[in-house]
A and B are shown apart, each in its own frame.
Chain A
């Protein structure tokens, strides 16, 4: 894996890799090293093609260690798949179906058949950027973002699926809704989804349908 290690201020490093899969693998390896006591860092923040290490005591030493690091592919995740019951009745269903070149009712079938992983979180507490759909199902953001997207909206943008933890402005294409609570600070853990979590969307009936 070829990595570019960029210094960020006094005590952080941004490690850039070539792909989302590599970022997931690097993130898994860095989390493993921290758990094993080999890496002391305040924050490990994965993103689309980078992992940020923030709050390093000795960024110079970590940078030289990373330069020669052997990063194995992301290990298969142990543990459960988080299931998100979803009513596929979003206002952008027709638009997404047109992008995909399928019928509207096929969007749910295709989306619910995929296994997703949380590549990274951001935008809002508990908002995960989920990958798992084939590249041919990428969709653009809406030309004009909505001023208010309801909490629980299941949405697509680029290669990602996301679920809005609370009502907020947003430009993603809305394909459905869930009642799942994505983020609850009173719950342990607060976030339903964290980087690496496996996720499936399970079609849930709307009133009058199965």
Chain B
């Protein structure tokens, strides 16, 4: 019997299994979850011949190291980093053959935050509600990787892509997030609305898969009191009592009781997933579709 698996040698700060998440269960309180930088995850899947919904590994800042139990084709993308196999440099963002027994090392991110490691056949953990994603808010899906974890792989389906390198956007030096105002913009003062789109915020080190937290001017409310809990969307810019906006990412809660001043366009969220703490953030208003 074949033993298609990777054994975790160095788990890194936070390495999780991610796919396209489990949308469709928000009414039960189940977050959508899924890869924060979806296009990067899709690209490494394509590079190894996987379907777009195959599960990959998502690393955070300092990569990870994996020992192959069998010959396996992998691709590392997302945040740029040094990649080696048994200490020898190999291509980043390209299909790489790792022989049985060799160690793939995904180095610390040179820029950006989240790296993606696809292996041909995909990560074969048991799906939960249709997804293999780790959801850090509610604890669904596999636990984050620890040293020694055996990561089983599925059967290779298709030949890997015949390309040398897949182009990817560089992580942002400045994060520009296009927003549509509302649904609760009227809970804030005109000054707060102006501050949101004219002042510069910075990515807070308290950011995680649940939300991109910001530091900067506090946004003042025009309406006091509590908002009754209401449904929350991906990209919602929620403003807690301290006034610092939080942009909801994949593991966000399905309902919330703080007003949402604006919503970030879905296409700008992959860049948000790669913005390091301290990165300047600007919110730019767009209207309509």
Taking Cβ atoms with an 8 Å cutoff, the residues of A that contact B are 6-10, 12, 14, 42-52, 54-55, 60, 120-127, 129, 166, 183, 185, 190-191, 194-195
Contact = CB atoms under 8 A, between A and B. Distances in A.
Interface string B258-276: 0010011110000000000
B28 A47 contact: no
Interface of B: 23-30, 128-129, 138-140, 180, 182-184, 228-233, 235-236, 253-255, 260, 263-266, 289
Contacts of B265: 9-10
A127 B29 contact: yes
B180 A47 contact: no
Given A48-B230, A122-B253, A125-B29, A42 B24 contact: yes
B229 A47 contact: yes
B255 A122 contact: yes
Given A10-B266, A46-B27, A48-B228, A123 B233 contact: no
Contact of B235 (A6, A9, A44): A9
A125 B264 contact: no
Given A9-B180, A10-B180, A45-B26, A51 B253 contact: no
Contact of B255 (A7, A8, A45, A55): A45
Contact of A185 (B24, B140, B254, B264): B140
Contacts of A125: 25, 28-30, 138, 140
A129 B27 CA distance: 11
A43 B230 contact: no
Contacts of B231: 14, 43, 45-47, 50-52, 54
Nearest to A48: B228
A54 B27 contact: no
16 contacts: A6-B182, A8-B183, A8-B233, A9-B263, A10-B265, A12-B263, A14-B230, A43-B231, A52-B231, A54-B26, A121-B27, A124-B138, A183-B28, A185-B129, A191-B28, A195-B27
Given A8-B182, A48-B229, A122-B29, A55 B23 contact: yes
A7 B28 contact: no
A6 to B, nearest CB: 4
A44 to B, nearest CB: 6
Nearest to A27: B27
B20 to A, nearest CB: 13
A121 B29 contact: yes
Chain A at the B interface: mostly helix, strand, loop or mixed? Answer: strand
B139 A166 contact: yes
* Residue in B29, B183, B266 with the greatest tally of chain A CB atoms within 10 Å: B29
B255 A194 contact: no
Given A9-B180, A43-B24, A185 B253 contact: no
Nearest to B264: A9
A123 B183 contact: no
Contact of A9 (B29, B139, B233): B233
Contacts of A9: 180, 233, 235-236, 263-266
A8 B263 contact: yes
Contacts of B180: 7-10
A14 B26 contact: no
B23 A47 contact: no
A72 to B, nearest CB: 20
Contacts of A45: 26-27, 231, 254-255
B24 A7 contact: no
Contacts of A47: 228-231, 255
A163 B124 CA distance: 33
